[in-house]
């Protein structure tokens, strides 16, 4: 969903930089990767751009091929693929109206090959219907919060800036981070921080918030960050980055219903792929990556009962995994773009129509 992402590092046990298949790109794909980079600002190159183009471009070579970018953001990945695949059309989906406006401006040179939809990416079938297409040859989901959302201080995503506690990706929705912090019962607030934020001091932080909000509404990012810092044991503060990062992650995921949306979005995206179509999912923390891993693995299995002597045609794998485990950014990319460090990439190709 944009140029770069920032999240906690994924804790999956199968992340690696290895790739399935040949380690050598075909000359055609290599040419597409080089073309995709031409003219891009080196300071705003999307996360794992070359690998995304390498994985998705082979499915987008035919006239009229459709790429659905379900988290369009500033359109960096989409722009690269529009350059690399001159026959493809883009359906760009985003819940953030300001992101859609910016990406439409950026992608104006490809106006006859683009269609933009304001929607949550779990509504992908409806987005395709609105765009007038019945299926996709590629789907990209670049999850999480984008750099513009982090950098626009009034959005309230970043603990490093003074701002209202907002954190809404879609500013047309009502629920904000301030609503969660000030109105959730302590038990629910603890759950949000522990489950979504993976914060081991969730209970201590929730009780500290309860004491503070008894004095009046807590609506400042800097005040919340300081409250969290004081609630966490002093020895813990000295390691692991900013003490408030997991609290802010948990609140953001809750406000935007990110995990429930992803749970619906993955099967919707996979079912929208035509045979030969490809999907790539970039996640930025272990919760997202585990969900992506399970959704892909479930369709990559032969589910023929073990006691049958021959495989059943309708139980054969629907997809072929294109990545072995979760691929990581290169060391070079991590050095150039620290926000890429937590990225995990999984990809697959549909090899059989979905079972009905």
Domain ranges of the chain: 15-148+258-350, 171-255
pLDDT digits (tens, 9 = 90+) for 265-281: 999 999 999 999 999 99
Task: Convert the pLDDT of each residue in 132-179 to its tens digit.
Answer: 998 999 999 999 776 666 667 778 888 877 899 999 998 889 999 999
pLDDT for residue 34: 63
Does 6 show up as a binding residue in the annotation? no
Q: Is 77 annotated as a binding residue?
A: yes
Residue 154 annotated as lining a ligand binding site: no
Quote the pTM value: 0.86
121 annotated as ligand-binding: yes
Query: Tokens in use for 64?
Result: 């009229």
The Cα–Cα gap between 271 and 263 comes to 13
Contacts 24+ apart (CB under 8 A), 202-207: 202/250, 204/231, 204/232, 205/231, 205/232, 205/247, 207/231
Is 73 annotated as contributing to ligand binding?
no
Task: Check if the beta carbon of residue 63 is closer than 8 Å to that of residue 136.
Answer: no
- What whole-number distance in Å separates Cα of residue 326 and Cα of residue 217? 42
Give the pLDDT mean for 56-81.
96
pLDDT at 23: 45
Topology at the third CATH level for domain 15-148+258-350: Rossmann fold (3.40.50)
The answer regarding whether domain 171-255 maps to CATH 1.10.150.170 reads: yes
Q: Tell me: is residue 336 an annotated ligand-binding position.
A: no
76 assigned to a ligand binding site: yes
């Amino acid at each position: 969903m944009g140029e770069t992402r920032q999240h906690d590092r994924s804790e999956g046990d199968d992340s690696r930089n290895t790739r399935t298949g040949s380690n050598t790109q075909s000359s055609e794909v290599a040419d597409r990767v080089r073309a995709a980079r031409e003219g891009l600002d080196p300071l705003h190159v999307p996360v794992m751009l070359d690998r995304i183009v390498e994985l998705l471009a082979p499915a987008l070579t035919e006239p009229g091929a459709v790429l659905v970018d379900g988290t369009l953001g500033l359109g960096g990945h989409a722009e690269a693929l529009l350059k690399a695949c001159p026959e493809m059309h883009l359906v760009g989906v985003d819940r953030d109206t300001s992101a859609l406006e910016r990406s439409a401006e950026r992608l104006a040179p490809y106006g006859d090959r683009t269609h933009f939809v304001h929607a949550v990416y779990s509504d992908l079938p409806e987005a395709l219907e609105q765009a007038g297409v019945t299926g996709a040859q590629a789907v990209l989901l670049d999850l999480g919060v984008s750099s513009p959302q982090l950098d626009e201080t009034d959005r309230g995503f970043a603990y490093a800036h003074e701002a209202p506690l907002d954190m809404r990706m879609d500013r047309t929705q009502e629920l904000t981070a301030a609503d969660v912090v000030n109105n959730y019962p302590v038990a629910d607030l603890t759950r949000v921080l522990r489950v979504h934020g993976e914060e081991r001091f969730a209970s201590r932080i929730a009780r500290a918030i309860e004491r503070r909000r008894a004095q009046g509404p807590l609506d400042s990012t800097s005040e919340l960050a300081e409250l969290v810092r004081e609630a966490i044991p002093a020895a813990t503060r000295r390691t692991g980055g900013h003490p408030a990062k997991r609290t802010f992650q948990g609140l953001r995921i809750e406000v935007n219903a990110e995990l429930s949306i992803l749970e619906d979005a993955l099967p919707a995206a996979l079912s929208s792929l035509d045979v030969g179509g490809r999907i790539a999912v970039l996640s930025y923390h272990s919760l997202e990556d585990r969900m992506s891993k399970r959704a892909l693995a479930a369709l990559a299995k032969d589910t023929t009962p073990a006691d049958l002597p021959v495989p059943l045609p309708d139980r054969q794998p629907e997809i072929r995994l294109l990545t072995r485990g979760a691929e990581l950014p290169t060391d070079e990319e991590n050095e150039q773009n620290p926000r890429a460090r937590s990225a995990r990439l999984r990809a697959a190709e549909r090899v059989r129509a979905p079972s009905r």
